[in-house]
Structure 1
Amino acid sequence: MHAATFFDGVGWREGVVELVDGRVWLSDGHSAAGLPRLDGVVLGGFTDHHVHLQLVDHAQLSGSRLGRVVDLGGNPGVLRRLARGGIKNAPATRDSGTFSIPHPHPLVEFAGAFVAAPGGYPSDREWAPEGSVREVADERAAADAVAEMADAGASCLKVTSNSTAGPVFSDDLFRTIVGIAASRSLPVVAHAEGPGEAQRVVALGAARLAHAPFTERLDDEEIARQAASASWISTLAIHDGPARAIAIDNVRRFHAAGGTVLYGTDLGNGPMPNDLNAREVAALREAGVHADALLHALSPLDPLAPSATLLFLPGASPATADPLAARPLIPADLKV
């Protein structure tokens, strides 16, 4: 047994780590006097709030530092199976000296299919998996789409509003979709792209933006409004040039205004690691999201949960914890 400092998703606490049947467990509470202390800090696996599992080799996520992923657009039947069965890979174990421990694999949450206006983004995109788009023309079609996603087990609804790539919903129909989704406890996550779209969809009730606004610089008044009513998923590293600069500037001011910024990479949108993305973390830091704020953006799972992936930052303290230095906590770490 070792005393350990851990991050519970809100703040730093004290607990005990011990080896039980070849697996490292974390428990809450103060340790007995004289117990050796783990040289480092412990936290749960991180969350990527924007992925597309059908566009990547998702088996590679097993054993990564991600404890949870949120798929924001795919075939709901496929995603339901992944959420229920878990992401698996082979081989299922790895050698850690004395013990053979399972590869951790992330929990899967999902939005299901993209909900789009007829002919709207991404209905004409070759990359969109079969069965991953529902084109909604009216309130009845909206109710059917929401019911389908809710019944499949979705935790949110992905609605697209990309005026640079095709038609978008009218204000009335977008607001109607938000209301129908709320009746099934599904917050709306909106892909907003094009002049005025980020402002419009949040004003119409979107709870979250799938991408930090990158089309244009939002004025400070709009930043304050959004900080009070919506959260943003970062996805900063997918951009280059002016779009990247605009997105980072918007995030910097949104974060400073008290807005909730969530780590997300849009995994599947071009080459990137099936793991914690160093470029995304660097971009968040450039936008002023540091220290505990960065950990909150990464939304690590509760490390006290029985199924939690436990990550270890060797030699770190709460003041020096760097998520990029995290690795799985293994039995060898408890050797005195």
Structure 2
Amino acid sequence: MPIHIYWGEDDFAMEKAIANLRDEILDANWTSFNYTTFPPDYKNAAIEALNQAMTPAFGAGGRLVWLMNANITTLSDDNVLSELQRTLSVIPDNSYLLITSPNKPDERLKSTKLLKKLAQFREFGLISPWKTDLLLKSVNDAAKSLGMRLTPKCAEFLVEAVGNDTRLLYNELGKLQLYLLDSNQPLDVDTAAQLVRNSTQNSLQLAGAIRMGDTGKALSLVADLIDAYEPSLRIVATLIGQFRTWLWVRIMMETGERSSQAIAQAAEVRNHYRIKYLQQEVQFLSVQQLISCLPILLELEVNLKLGAAQTLTLQTKVIELCQICQKSRQ
């Protein structure tokens, strides 16, 4: 299919897919003639890209036109829509148009509806931090693609260490691959722990300090994470995932549910044996306290995405969260 729409926040996975698409379409000897990119700041980028895609490829291989970070599927534009209607159905078979965007296509737009009929859509979404089963599958799939074998405990450790950061996952696996060289033995957790910095574990320690209402320890952990150059949004993602899990466990406890399997399923906890530990962790917190923490975490995420000062914003919201959790111990 000559038209591809790639969208989602996992830019690393998208970059890999784009590289594969380039290799599949382009002939290396004719790349300079047949490969064109249109960045978002290019004047009339969408219309120029569509016009370029109408040109048949020169020489061997196909033509690839990449319209980067485009808003065709998220913003209504009559001029662009008219050009889409004119060109999409008559793009030459050996000319390919790639449109990328970090945002989900708006199904209500006429441009999106038109592209749905003629294009191949592919999502590159980040896995939610609390979906540990999908994260575990992602780690094992990535290791398999690199020709590596991991012990189950090692795979679980990597999930804790990298979370849903695909770029970091491949970076760490690349480092471990160099260490293993041509060894046929599966990588064990002890070896991985020596080479991979488990920053997510520190973020979980931060969640634990907040749960206990220990403001001093929580602020100290915030400082440690920042000093270790841990991305603030990844810290927040870990906190949101942990508090969401605690909330579901507490809700199930208050409804009288006794089955650890049922609680694990509701809380999306892969290993139901973890439930008894989670129940112990939330025994002094109420459902209302945990619910009150979620809007603060959401506000923290939004403020950081809007460019607020990282250290001050984290410190302020961590103090607020600790104060909520302290109420059960007063």
Q: TM-score, normalised by structure 2?
A: 0.30
Relative to its length, the structure with more helix (as a share) is 2
Q: If you compute each CA radius of gyration, which structure gives the higher value, 1 or 2?
A: 2
Relative to its length, the structure with more strand (as a share) is 1
Q: TM-score, normalised by structure 1?
A: 0.30
